[in-house]
Amino acid sequence: MEKRVKLSTQKVRRERKARRIIIVTLLLILLLLILLYFAIGIIYNNGNFSITLDKNLYFDKGLIIYDDPEYKVYRSELLAPSPNMFDNISYKWLPEDMDQQNGGSHNGKNYLAYTFFVENTGDSVSDYWNEVIIDDVIRNVDSAIRIRVYRNGQPTTYATLAANGEAEPNTTPFVSESVVARSYIDNFKPGDIDRYTIALWIEGSDPECTDNILGGEFKVRMDFNSGHTKLKEKRGKENEKKK
């Protein structure tokens, strides 16, 4: 009888120990998931689109960016807040006066829209590059993304190449996997203002717009600088060779 009691007691202890291990393990997994959730939130809750200005354009050439014509101050970055969610839509649903709204965010249902300005506040004729750069993509959602850039009322819509290697209808292909678009603006005189509107949406008519991209994320920015990425990389390699 005593032996049976000892065996039963040991079994109960082992079961309690196993339950404690399971509970601790579950708590650690839960903590890890919470940390992961907040890490992802930090990355993506700052907005799907940011606009950055190279400080050299301001200090050397007097260029500034702003989204409020009544508040023109030097800022190195503008953030375009994103809609709460993106569902696929047709480009036909976008408003015709997209680029005629006031500065700042003017998102619609399932699309991002943001207007801002670049102004030459310096004393001499200047120039600049702008690049739309992809920072991160999850679940290949970029395959159905459309990015439309208006400059002074003139729109260009960018998209990845179709599955057959051809350009999607009425679009300009991305420059590369990491660069959506690149432009050089010269003869930018003192007092000149370039008006930009950015629109971003998921195109429902794109064959790549399937359930496979559900839950995807897309983070992109527009850089204004004095020399585009490839030139900077080339110069960097040349400087390394000289060393």
Looking at residue 49, what is its pLDDT?
Answer: 85
- Of 7-21, 30-44, 140-154, 170-184, the one with minimum mean pLDDT is 30-44
205-238 per-residue burial string, b: 16 or more CB within 10 A, e: under 16? ebebbeeebeebebbbbbbbbbebbeeeeeeeee
Distance CA 223, CA 130 (A): 5
Give the pLDDT band (50/70/90) at residue 43: very low
Q: Mind listing the pLDDT tens digit for each residue in 138-197?
A: 887 889 999 999 999 999 999 999 989 999 999 999 999 999 999 999 999 999 999 999
Q: What does the pLDDT read at residue 136? A: 87
- Is the pLDDT assigned to residue 25 strictly greater than 90? no
Tell me the average pLDDT across 102-109: 93
DSSP H stretches of helix in 45-70: 55-61
Residue 189, helix vs strand vs coil: coil
Check if the beta carbon of residue 106 is closer than 8 Å to that of residue 97: no
Tell whether the model's pLDDT for residue 2 goes beyond 90: no
Rounded alpha-carbon distances, angstroms, from residue 193 to 50, 166, 181: 20, 35, 20
CB atoms within 10 A of CB 105: 20
pLDDT tens digits, 204-239 = 999 888 877 777 778 899 999 998 665 555 445 545
Query: What is the pLDDT at residue 93?
Result: 94
pTM of the model: 0.76
Residue located via tokens 């920015």:
221
The stretch 22-47 carries a mean pLDDT of 55
Share of the chain above pLDDT 90, in %: 57
DSSP type of residue 143: G
More confident site: 63 or 31: 63
Q: Is the pLDDT of residue 13 over 80?
A: no
DSSP three-state, residue 177: coil
For residues 157 and 168, what is the distance between their CA atoms, to the nearest angstrom?
A: 10
